[in-house]
């Protein structure tokens, strides 16, 4: 099971990191026409750990898709 970050506040992302680990969270946005930078900022606020950020913002999805 994976969680994704679309439409949730940064505090909920932080709670998810603590509950399931950053390796089970995928970066998401609410819509393709939205402001993607707000989704990025939410992840940045949720964790100061650069490894967790890298996992959430792309490495997890690359792994799921068999790209890593």
pLDDT in tens, 2-57: 999 988 899 999 999 999 999 999 998 777 777 788 889 999 999 999 999 999 99
Query: For the chain, how many structural domains are there in total?
Result: 1
Q: What is the pLDDT of residue 48?
A: 96
Instruction: Give the separation between CA 1 and CA 9, rounded to whole angstroms.
Output: 20
Q: What is the pLDDT of residue 26?
A: 96
Domain limits at 13?
3-64
Q: What is the pLDDT of residue 7?
A: 84
Burial of 10: CB neighbours in 10 Å, binned 0-12, 13-18, 19+ = middle
């Amino acid at each position: 099971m994976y969680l994704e970050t679309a439409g949730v506040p940064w505090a909920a992302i932080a709670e998810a990191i603590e509950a399931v680990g950053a390796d089970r969270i995928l970066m998401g946005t609410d819509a393709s026409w939205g402001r993607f930078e707000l989704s990025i900022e939410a992840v940045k606020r949720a964790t100061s750990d650069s490894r967790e950020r890298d996992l959430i913002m792309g490495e997890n999805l690359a792994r799921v898709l068999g790209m890593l």
